[in-house]
Amino acid sequence: MNPAALESIQALHRAVYVEGELFGVDRPHAVDPLQAPDGPARPNAIAVAGGAFGDEGKGRVVDELCMRSLRAGRAPLVYRWNGGANAGHTVIVNGQRVALHQLPSGALHREAVIVLGKGMVIHPGDLLAEIDRVRAVTGGPMATLIIDENAVLALDTHRALEAALRDWQTGGSGATGRGIAPAYADVVYRHPLRVRDLIAADWRDRLRRHYALYAALVKGLGRDLATVRVPSLRAESILVGPESEFIERHGPAATALDVYAQDSRPVLENVWAADGPTTPIIFEGAQAIGLDTRWGVYPDVTASDPTFDGIAHSTEGMFRSEEIAVRAGAIKATYTSSVGSRRLPTAMDEALAQRIRDDAHEYGSTTRRPRDIVYIDLPCLRFFARISGMTHLILTHLDISYPDAPIRVCTHYTDRRGHVCGYRPDQGFLSAVTPHYLDLPAWDGAALRGAQELAALPREALQYVAFLTRAIGCPPLMATTGPERTALLSWLPG
Ligand code: IMP
């Protein structure tokens, strides 16, 4: 960040908080960016990515986008472009909780088409368990599912290697234990198993060769593959087991996935171009830009491409990100949460952090581990927005604000020589900088909770949205105002 960028943030602060400028955030956008996008982008195409370090609540927003499409009489296509069973998003259907890990959020809408893209790594057993669960709670069929035949497999062998690595590195790996990094590494090492390998006639032979390789790798780390315990959706945890047991465990998936597996390109091509374009396409990302290996705080990063660029990779270059009308990054409106060993510069006063943690349920959804809560960090969020080509912001948890605690926002850092600087994706650098803050007027979040209309937002919330979104450089698209499905408001017209 250069001093001119800091001056523009200071000027923005004056414009909003002294001169009363709201930059139009008190009313819906005059032009619907989904219907009339800038440049060559396809209308009715939106991508949603995490704009910070994960757990921003994107799934809920994708669910709302699906419902909007259905209300307008058009069934959406929801395409998940990255990650695997490391994602987690809980929805309540017919009074029952259902956790989605590998299925995108459109799964619960039976009219939708959902695609697990080539950029994903898929655990077949957990996926079948998830499909069964969705069917059980919806009481019937779910969305039409397509699995790209080229998606990579992330099996119990990968989970075992990750567990062995964790022991080897004495707990240092910090992954979710779902074998994500080893599965993506298979691609780089040129020995991946893909969905099409599991539905091939000789799938047993292919799995046998894979098991032998992983047995050798795990043995090299001092473990016996068969006796490594790995997480499982159906049984919490299981032993990888000997080769024959491991292979036969995949029998049901080899049969079941055959129904869903195909080359997804013709489907996407058809929907993208041939129909008008009227079919809404929603690209759903997993994890977040701040978990990208290149842009996040290494080593707390994931192996897939969670940026909008990941869509081009996953779709074999079919859609460059700038062809997608709206590329929305979801962030928590008034704070940022983080899990793992990364130490962000904007550490929050612990009493306030605990208050937020309790009010916003900031505990890991599977581990119950308390998440770190930090102040909003503009250098970091601006970096993620710029590097990913984000066009809009989705602000979640707008109800987490207390009249007795101003909202503290970091405008810039200084280095040890006192020079103004911005974010760099490097823990050593981030540990050495000094953050500088502005305190902004808060509002009564409890009074705002559940708001569905912009008119229900207090002036302080509008000022804050105007300041934050202009400072990051992306206008707001939606905000969530509480945990209920309906607690959501939008800047989209209509
Ligand atoms: P992996 O994705 O299991 O390889 O984990 C790598 C890193 O990404 C770890 O620091 C995880 O905690 C983090 N991570 C992966 N998925 C999520 C998520 O959905 N939310 C937050 N952190 C995540």
Q: How many residues can be counted in the chain?
A: 494
Active site residues: 55, 89
pLDDT score of 367 more than 70? no
Q: Does residue 455 share a domain with residue 333?
A: yes
Q: Does residue 289 share a domain with residue 166?
A: no
Q: Does residue 270 share a domain with residue 229?
A: no
| pLDDT of res. 399 | 98
Q: Does residue 254 share a domain with residue 196?
A: yes
The string of pLDDT tens digits covering residues 375-426 is 999 999 999 999 999 999 999 999 999 999 999 999 999 999 999 999 999 9
Average pLDDT for 94-113: 89
End-of-domain residue from the set 199, 233, 259: 259
pLDDT band at 366 (very low <50, low <70, confident <90, very high): low
pLDDT score of 488 more than 70? yes
Q: Look up residue 379 and give its two tokens.
A: 């250098």
The string of pLDDT tens digits covering residues 464-485 is 999 999 999 999 999 999 988 8
User: Cα of 222 to ligand 1 centre, how many Å?
Assistant: 25
Peptide bond into 252 cis (omega under 30): no
- The count of structural domains within the chain is 2
Q: Look up residue 108 and give its two tokens.
A: 């619960």
End-of-domain residue from the set 235, 259, 283: 259
Residue 32 belongs to some domain of the structure = no
End-of-domain residue from the set 259, 285, 317: 259
Q: Does the Cβ of 124 fall within 6 Å of ligand 1?
A: no
Average pLDDT for 324-338: 97
pLDDT band at 207 (very low <50, low <70, confident <90, very high): very high
| Residue 22 neighbours by CB distance under 10 Å | 16
Q: Does residue 172 share a domain with residue 252?
A: yes
Give the DSSP letter string of 430-484: HHH-EEEEEEE----HHHHTT--SGGGS-HHHHHHHHHHHHHHT--EEEEE-SSS
Beta strands at 476-480 and 434-440: parallel, antiparallel or unpaired: unpaired
* CATH number for the domain harbouring residue 217: 1.10.300.10
Q: Does residue 50 share a domain with residue 133?
A: yes
pLDDT score of 277 more than 80? no
User: Cα of 183 to ligand 1 centre, how many Å?
Assistant: 14
Ligand 1 atom at shortest distance from the alpha carbon of 83: 2
Residue 279 belongs to some domain of the structure = yes
CA atoms within 13 A on the CB side of 99: 12
22 - beta bridge partners?
none
Average pLDDT for 178-199: 97
pLDDT band at 99 (very low <50, low <70, confident <90, very high): confident
> What's the distance, Cα to Cα, between the start and end of the chain in Å?
38
Q: Does residue 135 share a domain with residue 104?
A: yes
Q: In terms of Cα–Cα distance, which of 356, 362, 441, 473 is closest to 1?
A: 473
Alpha helices in 250-345 (DSSP H): 251-260, 265-269, 309-314
pLDDT score of 274 more than 80? no
Q: Does the Cβ of 340 fall within 6 Å of ligand 1?
A: yes
Q: Does residue 325 share a domain with residue 296?
A: yes
Angle 31-409-344 (CA atoms, 0-180°, nearest 5)? 115
pLDDT band at 74 (very low <50, low <70, confident <90, very high): very high
User: Cα of 102 to ligand 1 centre, how many Å?
Assistant: 14
Bigger pLDDT: 340 vs 8: 8
Q: What percent of the chain has pLDDT over 90?
A: 84
pLDDT score of 276 more than 70? no
Q: Does residue 345 share a domain with residue 206?
A: no
Q: Does the Cβ of 291 fall within 6 Å of ligand 1?
A: yes
| pLDDT of res. 236 | 87
Average pLDDT, the chain: 94
Structural domain range at position 341: 3-17+39-150+263-490
